[in-house]
C-alpha cells in the first residue's frame, strides 16, 4: 500500500515571500510531499513506530494511515487520584498491575491527581491506562517526545513488554529514534528516508548495575519513593545499586534471631528506572550472596521478604527462585479473648505476602 501526502502551499504574492523565494532559489511552490509504501496487512503485528524529525510528515502520515483513531488524547479528571481515574469500572488489582508494569510503581503517585504528576509520571500513567482499556488500535502522537530520554527508553520497553501480553495494536509516533531498540516495534516507518521496514524482535539493551554495601546514608534519597512510611532499620546491612554513576536501587538485609534466615526490606527503585526489571534482579542478586554466606556473619542464610506492594508480589510470584510462603492481613486493632483473636476492629489493614529465596546450594 502506497501512501502519498501532498500539502499544497503556493507561494503568496507578497514582498517578503517573493524576496525569500528569490534569495533561496525556491521556485514554483512550497508544497510538502511524502510518499511511503507500507503494507501493514502483510504480517500480523502488535507494535509499530513512526519516527522522524520535526516537520518530516509523521503526523500527516499517521492521520492518513489511521484516520480518526490517530492522536486521540486522553482526558483525565481534575481532582481524582490516579488509582481512581484509570479504568474505574475495572478490578483494582488490574489497575495496580498495569501501573507497575509500565514502571509507575511509586504508590504515593497513585494517590495524586494526574495533573500533579511529573511529565514522566504522566507518560507512564497514560500507558497504564491504555493497558487497562485495551483498545483494538491505539495511536499515540508525540510518543516520549516531552520527557527525559532515560524515562522514555525504559518506559517504552516496559510498556511494549506488557502490551504484548494481550490483544490489540499500538503505534507510537515520535521524533526520537532512541526508543527503537527499547520499544522493539514489529515495523518502523522513517519519514526522514520515507522507508518502511519490518523488524524482528530482539532483546532490549542490557542495563549494567554495580552493587555496593553502604552505611545507610543513601536511604533519605530513596525514602520518599517507598510505599510505606517506616523507621530506618538500625542494625541492617544496606545495599545500593548504581547505574551510569548514579544510585538507582536500595535494599536492607538483616538476620533473624539465631542467624537462621535473613530478612530483606526497604527495597526501592528510583522512579526513572522503574519498569526495567531492576528491582527483582537487584534483590535476587543480594539474596544469592547471602545464601552463599557472603555477608558479615560469614554464614549461609536464605532470605525472606514480606511485601504488600502488588507489583513486587506479582514479580516474585512469577520468579523461579522465589517461593511464596505466606499471605495474611496485617494491621488494624484486634480484640482478644483468652489469647484468641475474636474480632478485628477498625483500622488500616493490608495484604502482607511473604516470599523466600529458594535456590539450593550445590554440595
Judged by average pLDDT, the poorest of 23-27, 41-45, 179-183, 244-248 is 23-27
User: Residue 196 — pLDDT band, cuts 50, 70, 90?
Assistant: very high
Domain limits, the chain:
38-198, 210-357
Per residue, what are the HEC states of the chain?
A: CEEEEEECCECCCCHHHHHHHHHCCCCCECCEEEEEECCCCCCCCCEEEEECCCCCCHHHHHHHHHHHHECCCCCCCCCCEHHHHCCCCCCHHHHHHHHHHCCCCCHHHHCCEHHHCCHHHHHHHHHHHHHHHCCCEEEECCCCCCCCHHHHHHHHHHHHHHHCCCCCEEEEEECCHHHHHHHCCCEEEECCCCEEEECCCCCCCCCCCEEEEECCCCHHHHHHHCCCCCCCCCCCEEEEEEECCEEEEEEEEEECHHHCCEEEEEEEECHHHCCCCHHHHHHHHHHHHHHCCCCCCCCCCCEEEEECCHHHHHHHHCCCCEEEEEEEEEEEEEEEECCEEEEEEEEEEEEEEEEEECCCCCC
> What is the pLDDT averaged over residues 349-360?
82
> What is the pLDDT averaged over residues 297-319?
91
Compute the mean pLDDT over every residue in the chain, rounded to the nearest whole number.
87
Query: Could you say which architecture CATH assigns to the domain 38-198?
Result: 3-Layer(aba) Sandwich (3.40)
Q: Which CATH superfamily is domain 210-357 in?
A: Gcn5-related N-acetyltransferase (GNAT) (3.40.630.30)
Q: Is the pLDDT of residue 328 over 70?
A: yes
Q: What is the model's pLDDT at position 361? A: 57
> What is the pLDDT averaged over residues 70-78?
81
Q: What is the pTM of this model?
A: 0.78
Comparison of pLDDT for 30 and 287, the residue scoring more: 287
Q: What is the model's pLDDT at position 346? A: 40
pLDDT (tens digit, 9 = 90+) per residue, 164-193? 999 999 999 999 999 999 999 999 999 999
Q: Is the pLDDT of residue 273 over 70?
A: yes
Q: Is the pLDDT of residue 329 over 90?
A: no
Q: What is the model's pLDDT at position 360? A: 66
- Do the two domains 38-198 and 210-357 of this chain adopt the same fold? no
Q: What is the model's pLDDT at position 100? A: 86
Q: Is the pLDDT of residue 149 over 80?
A: yes
Q: What is the model's pLDDT at position 337? A: 47
Judged by average pLDDT, the poorest of 167-171, 197-201, 223-227 is 223-227
> What is the pLDDT averaged over residues 157-161?
92
Q: What is the model's pLDDT at position 12? A: 84
CB 193 within 8 A of CB 167: no
Judged by average pLDDT, the poorest of 18-32, 46-60, 104-118, 231-245 is 18-32
Comparison of pLDDT for 96 and 230, the residue scoring more: 96
pLDDT (tens digit, 9 = 90+) per residue, 22-31? 888 777 777 8
User: Residue 344 — pLDDT band, cuts 50, 70, 90?
Assistant: very low
Q: What percentage of the chain exceeds 90 in pLDDT? A: 54
Q: Is the pLDDT of residue 348 over 80?
A: no
CB 171 within 8 A of CB 62: yes
Amino acid at each position: 500500500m502506497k501512501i502519498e501526502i501532498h500539502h499544497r502551499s503556493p507561494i503568496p504574492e507578497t514582498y517578503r515571500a517573493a524576496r525569500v523565494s528569490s534569495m533561496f532559489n525556491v521556485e514554483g511552490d512550497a508544497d510538502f510531499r511524502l510518499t511511503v509504501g507500507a503494507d501493514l496487512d502483510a504480517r500480523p503485528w502488535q507494535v509499530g513506530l513512526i519516527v522522524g524529525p520535526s516537520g518530516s510528515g509523521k503526523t500527516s502520515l499517521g492521520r492518513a494511515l489511521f484516520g480518526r483513531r490517530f492522536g486521540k488524547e486522553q482526558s483525565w479528571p481534575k481532582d481524582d487520584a490516579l488509582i481512581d481515574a484509570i479504568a474505574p469500572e475495572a478490578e483494582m488489582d488490574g489497575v495496580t498491575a498495569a501501573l507497575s508494569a509500565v514502571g509507575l510503581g511509586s504508590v504515593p503517585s497513585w494517590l495524586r491527581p494526574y495533573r500533579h504528576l511529573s511529565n514522566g509520571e504522566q507518560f507512564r500513567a497514560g500507558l497504564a491506562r491504555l493497558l487497562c482499556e485495551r483498545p483494538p488500535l491505539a495511536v499515540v502522537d508525540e510518543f516520549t517526545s516531552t520527557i527525559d530520554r532515560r524515562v522514555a527508553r525504559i518506559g517504552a520497553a516496559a510498556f511494549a513488554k506488557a502490551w504484548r501480553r494481550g490483544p490489540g495494536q499500538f503505534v507510537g509516533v515520535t521524533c526520537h529514534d532512541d526508543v527503537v531498540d527499547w520499544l522493539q516495534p514489529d515495523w518502523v516507518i522513517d519519514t526522514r528516508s520515507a522507508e518502511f521496514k519490518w523488524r524482528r524482535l530482539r532483546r532490549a539493551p542490557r542495563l549494567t548495575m554495580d552493587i555496593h554495601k553502604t552505611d545507610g546514608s543513601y536511604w533519605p534519597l530513596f525514602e520518599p519513593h517507598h510505599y510505606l512510611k517506616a523507621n530506618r532499620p538500625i542494625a541492617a546491612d544496606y545495599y545500593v545499586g548504581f547505574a551510569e554513576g548514579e544510585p538507582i536501587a536500595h535494599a536492607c538485609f538483616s538476620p533473624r534471631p539465631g542467624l537462621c534466615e535473613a530478612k530483606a526490606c526497604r527495597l526501592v527503585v528510583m522512579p526513572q528506572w522503574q519498569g526495567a526489571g531492576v528491582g527483582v534482579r537487584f534483590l535476587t542478586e543480594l539474596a544469592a550472596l547471602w545464601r552463599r554466606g557472603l555477608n558479615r556473619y560469614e554464614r549461609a542464610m536464605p532470605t525472606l521478604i514480606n511485601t504488600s506492594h502488588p507489583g513486587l508480589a506479582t514479580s516474585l510470584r512469577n520468579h523461579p527462585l522465589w517461593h511464596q510462603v505466606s499471605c495474611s492481613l496485617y494491621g488494624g486493632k484486634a480484640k482478644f479473648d483468652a489469647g484468641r483473636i475474636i474480632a478485628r476492629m477498625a483500622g488500616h489493614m493490608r495484604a502482607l505476602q511473604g516470599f523466600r529465596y529458594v535456590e539450593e546450594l550445590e554440595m
